Every structure is written in C-alpha cells, then in structure tokens.
Amino acid sequence: MEVALSPSQECKFHESRDQCPFTCCLALHLAHSRKDANSALLSNYEVFQLLTDLKEQRKESGKNKHSSGQQNLNTITYETLKYISKTPCRHQSPEIVREFLTAMKSHKLTKAEKLQLLNHRPMTAVEIQLMVEESEERLTEEQIEALLHTVTSILPAGPEAEQKKNTNDDMTMDEENPA
C-alpha cells in the first residue's frame, strides 16, 4: 500500500522530502495554496448528483455486488445522500446553477461565498451576513436585499420550505420554481 517517491521524482507541493507525506499510506497530492484549494471545491448539488448516479449504477449492476467490502461505500453514500436531500440542493439542476452563477457576477463575491449561498439558499439578511465576510462594509442594505432576491428567485426552495409553503393555504404565492 505504500508508494515511495523515486529519487528523481520531486513532490510539487512540498519544499523538502521530510515534509512530504508520499511515503505514508497513500501518495497524496493535496493542493496547498488557497487558489488551488478553491478550485477543487464541489457544490452539494454536484455531490448529490454523483451519489444518486452511483446508486442507480449499483442497483442496475445487480445484487451480486453486496460483498462486505462495499459496506463502507454503502454506508457513506446512504448517509451523505440523506443529509444532502434535506438541503435546498435537492431541487437544483445544472441550468439553475449556471443561471445563479451568472446572476452572482454583478455582486462581486468570492468563490467560497457564492458556494455557501448556493448550498444554503439563505432567506434572511442575517444568514447573508454570516456567509459573506465583512458584509456590512461591502454591501449596503439594498445590495443585501437584492442579493436575497436573486438567491430566492433563482434557487428553488428546499424540501422543508416547500412543505411549509404547501401548508399555508391562505397565501397566494407565485410559483417559486424558476422554470
């Protein structure tokens, strides 16, 4: 299970061989600089999509894959899917995500902030202040309102919010799904 670096190979992420975890259990290339770390971020929707597809694939390939070795994968995919299904990412689609990111360009937020907005779909100014750093310096109240409006209009509501909506009989709200 060990992968050793040959003398001619240089690890591009560490200055010296002593710091390099290459000779531990797995050889890992972990991006160290903030820039690289950000470029590898995945949204909850992407993970949701991936795990759902994986589940379909495994179902299709038959029941003979239920060996004990796959138990860990089963557990983690089940739990992660359960968690993500309760978040607003459930109803997203690639088009919605693309539309959201285009709309976000004007607000000048960092990648991490946009990701959090995408994953959480904040509905109040308080939540925006949590996710956007120094929001009271960077955004005026109108900008925060505009941001909230963009987020709630483009991203579909989470499963819990939809339940609440359905039980509100006296409210006549427009369809929130931005079809």
Partner 1 sequence: MFVLVEMVDTVRIPPWQFERKLNDSIAEELNKKLANKVVYNVGLCICLFDITKLEDAYVFPGDGASHTKVHFRYVVFHPFLDEILIGKIKGCSPEGVHVSLGFFDDILIPPESLQQPAKFDDTEQVWVWEYETEEGAHDLYMDTGEEIRFRVVDESFVDTSPTGPSSAEATSSSEELPKKEAPYTLVASGEVGARREGGLCAPICQLGTLVWLLVFPKASGLGSISEPGLGLLSWWTSS
E strand or H helix that includes residue 82: helix 71-85
Residues that bind partner 1 (CB under 8 A): 1, 3, 21, 24-30, 37, 40-44, 46-47, 50-51, 54, 65, 69-70, 72-73, 75-77, 79-80, 82-83, 87, 112, 116, 119-120, 124-127, 129-131, 133, 136
Smallest distance from partner 1 to CB 109, Å? 14
Smallest distance from partner 1 to CB 125, Å? 7
Q: Token pair for residue 34?
A: 């903030």
Smallest distance from partner 1 to CB 106, Å? 23
Smallest distance from partner 1 to CB 156, Å? 18
Phi first, then psi: what are they for 15, rounded to 5°? -75, -40
Closer residue to partner 1 in complex, CB, 96/132: 132
- Classify residue 131 by burial, with Cβ atoms within 10 Å: 0-12, 13-18, 19+: middle
Closer residue to partner 1 in complex, CB, 56/130: 130
- Spatial distance between the Cα atoms of 54 and 81, rounded to a whole number of angstroms: 11
Closer residue to partner 1 in complex, CB, 85/153: 85
- CA distance to 14, 45, 118, per residue, from 94 (Å): 36, 9, 12
Closer residue to partner 1 in complex, CB, 41/98: 41
Smallest distance from partner 1 to CB 13, Å? 11
Question: Tokens 């995945």 label which residue?
Answer: 42
DSSP states of 124-147: SHHHHHHHSTTHHHH--HHHHHHH
Closer residue to partner 1 in complex, CB, 20/146: 20
